């Protein structure tokens, strides 16, 4: 299904994500909550702690990096690097 803007252009994928309408179609409240932090920077809202090493992590890392800082996340999921 292709969405078009009022002047007839195809909506680019980037704008679907950035204006939040795509997230809403997912329906899940949990997903909506998570989408809030999807575009955040890794140093935004440093209100959480890494579940492994306890250093401060961002809301983005809490939701998208399994509650871990980048270092622990990479160790856990990409141990070869
Ligand atoms: Zn950590």
Ligand 1 center from residue 25 Cα (angstroms): 33
What pLDDT score was predicted for residue 81?
A: 60
Ligand 1 center from residue 38 Cα (angstroms): 19
Query: Which carries the bigger pLDDT value, residue 69 or residue 2?
Result: 69
What pLDDT score was predicted for residue 58?
A: 97
Structure tokens at 45: 């809202």
Domain layout of the chain by residue ranges: 1-38, 40-81
Ligand 1 center from residue 52 Cα (angstroms): 5
- The pLDDT tens digits for 1-28 are 556 666 666 655 555 556 555 555 556 7
Which alpha helices (H) appear in the chain, and where do they start and end?
13-18, 21-26, 29-38, 59-64, 70-77
In the chain, the largest separation of any two C-alpha atoms, in whole Å, equals 51
pTM above 0.85, yes or no: no
Query: Which carries the bigger pLDDT value, residue 30 or residue 22?
Result: 30
The protein residues having their C-beta less than 5 angstroms from ligand 1 (an ion) are 50, 52-53, 69, 72
What's the rounded mean pLDDT across residues 23-40?
Answer: 78
């Amino acid at each position: 299904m292709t969405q078009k803007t009022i002047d007839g252009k195809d909506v680019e994928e980037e704008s679907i994500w950035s204006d939040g309408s795509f997230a809403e179609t997912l329906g899940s409240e949990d997903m909506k909550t998570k989408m809030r932090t999807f575009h955040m920077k890794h140093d935004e809202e440093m209100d959480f702690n890494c579940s492994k090493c306890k250093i401060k992590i961002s809301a983005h890392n809490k939701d998208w990096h399994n509650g871990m800082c980048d270092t622990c996340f990479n160790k856990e999921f990409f141990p070869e690097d």
